[in-house]
Structure 1
């Protein structure tokens, strides 16, 4: 297969229609290859399924009218699909495909595909001895309703060969717009995802992304929104990598910062997988009946199956008494298999009349050591 052919012209050349068409085809092919191989296909702007409440004039039943918002997508062949203005989805088109189905609560997929058609009014060529014909092709679209499960067809589509020219008419490539629900002969709602398949948005293929102003921001929304996450790579003085949330003034409030020297600063707690041989500590004060907490990063499941061994040390606290002459002793200070504290303190005052002995709940200072056991009796991992 030869490479792309670029038309060339010279003085005095008689240009045929094929020469001019080749010029257009060369530009179309270059644009399509750039869209295919430097970008990921999908929705680039808009194209949401929008609902408006309606009432059936015959039955009085409430339903919704579904419209496709204006926008643009790029399909897997590299062709742009432009919806210049909102369009209402016809319920009759849905019934033609799915009208025979039994009632279901499952949503049905809606697709967008490119199409060529002859415009309603197109300039007509007139020439000396030439054949009159229309000189424009409208690059338009079609909205297609799928059957239940047809959303899986999107993943099975394959792009054309590298050197393939744009096809006329275009190859049908399905772009998933979302889903509609159908109840009692009308649309009942829309969804953006169903059965694990969601709308796909256009992306970029790149091994290097560089910033021109010295700072690169990655965010989860088209525009900065308060409370939404962002990742900022700054080449300033000093350089840093910051993850945080947008504030109302458009700046990012740091939750995690990696400095140029490798220091890591976080605003919250840090947890992760604990290594074999490590010991984690939790301390504090607990009263009788309290369930002792585990060190951060240790789960009850790890203790139950023996991956983590607990060592607990309890120190009874001196109880508050009504008089300086009162004496106390610890009757019990222990922790059960369920990590619940048992602490009883005996208090008596030898100078009181009559002498009374009281047993009451007590408190302890605790120290919990969680040691990560080696698997199969091995050493450190």
Structure 2
């Protein structure tokens, strides 16, 4: 298919399964395209992890988006458990709690077609995946929890919610929700901005080559600039941002940001991003 197509219905039209599947695919694909193009993947709201008991954690209801643009949603009345048992995991270790998109064929009723069972509904019910286990275990807690070895992927195939530290007895000692990546609106490519320091209302360009090495995006908490290569720049840094309606841009206040190998800003430096 070279163009985006949607079904076109008319009176007396004979419809088959493909027509209904194409109708759903049209809306689903456009929604995923929207999420991928205009939003960063990550946690949208909720999905907070907390200590429930010695060997249990709780996860609140909420929403996330994965790197394919798929919505990962836990509704208030979802059958997905809000408590995860951690009994049996390695002692004195750190595990990562993640969530993934999943589809489950379900009824309200099912039928037999040609000797094959068909379901009338597909539920989009997420699944929890715990990374950091010593052995792989699938479909625990009624099929809603997997345990995997190694570290959680960082490419958005799973959405990390928290790191949990287990003590020498295997009990939950700390829960760190700050490791999660938050979903947010994407800004245009850095090449579509003029970037420089703001001095007396004038734009003083940042040293050559710095802009192309940065990924710039907006998250619900703050505007972040993250370096995707190594020196001579810092890997991450915090900043404050304020909108400038008269210039259709932003003023960014960075804290002690290293601009190049021979130039370091003392204290707070102001940066301005202007749309070209």
Is the contact between residue 151 and residue 176 of structure 1 (CA under 8 Å) also seen in structure 2?
Answer: no
TM-score, normalization by structure 2? 0.57
Q: Distance in 1 between matches of 2:220 and 2:126?
A: 31
Instruction: Quote how far apart the aligned CAs of 1:143 are.
Output: 0.5
Whether 2:61 is the aligned partner of 1:70: answer: yes
1:114 aligns with 2:96: no
Q: CA deviation at 1:145?
A: 0.8
Task: Normalising by structure 1, report the TM-score.
Answer: 0.43
1:134 lines up with 2:119 in the alignment: yes
Paired position in structure 2 for 1:176:
160
Displacement after TM superposition at 1:8 (Å)? 2.0
Distance 1:243 1:2, change over 3 A: closer
Following superposition, the deviation at residue 73 of structure 1 comes to 0.3
Deviations 1:67-121 (A, max 9, x none): 01110001111110101237001225xx3xxx3x4x33x41111101111133x5
1:199 and 2:186 aligned: no
Query: Against the structure 1 CA distance between its residues 12 and 144, is the aligned structure 2 distance closer, same or farther, given a 3 Å change threshold?
Result: same
Structure 2: state its 5+ residue gaps: 134-148, 194-217, 223-238, 267-276
Is residue 2:257 matched to residue 1:232?
no
Q: Deviations over 1:203-224 (max 9, x none)?
A: 2223389xxxxxxx99846xxx
Q: In 2, Cα distance between the equivalents of 1:124 and 1:23?
A: 22
Q: For residues 74 and 218 of structure 1, what CA distance do their matches in structure 2 show?
A: 13
Change (3 A) 1:8 1:50: same
CA distance in structure 2 between the aligned counterparts of 1:24 and 1:190, rounded to whole angstroms: 39
How far has the Cα of 1:179 moved from its partner?
A: 1.3
What is the RMSD of the two structures over their aligned residues, measured on CA atoms?
4.1
**Distance between the aligned counterparts of 1:175 and 1:218, measured in 2?**
15
**1:46 equivalent in structure 2:** 46
- 1: CA distance, partners of 2:130 / 2:119: 32
The CA deviation at 1:20 is: 1.0
SS of residue paired to 1:189? strand
The question of 1:90 aligning with 2:77 is answered no
Contact 1:219–1:230, Cα closer than 8 Å, also in 2: no
Report the alpha carbon displacement of residue 239 of structure 1 after superposing the two structures with TM: 11
> Are 1:107 and 1:191, in contact at CA under 8 Å, matched by a contact in 2?
no
Structure 1 residues 27 and 51, CA gap change in structure 2 (3 angstroms): same
Residue in 2 aligned with 1:309? none
Report deviation, 1:133: 4.1
- Residue in 2 that maps onto 1:154: 154
State the structure with more CA Rg.
1
Structure number with higher relative contact order (C-alpha < 8 Å, ≥ 6 residues apart): 2
Local SS of the residue matching 2:68 = coil
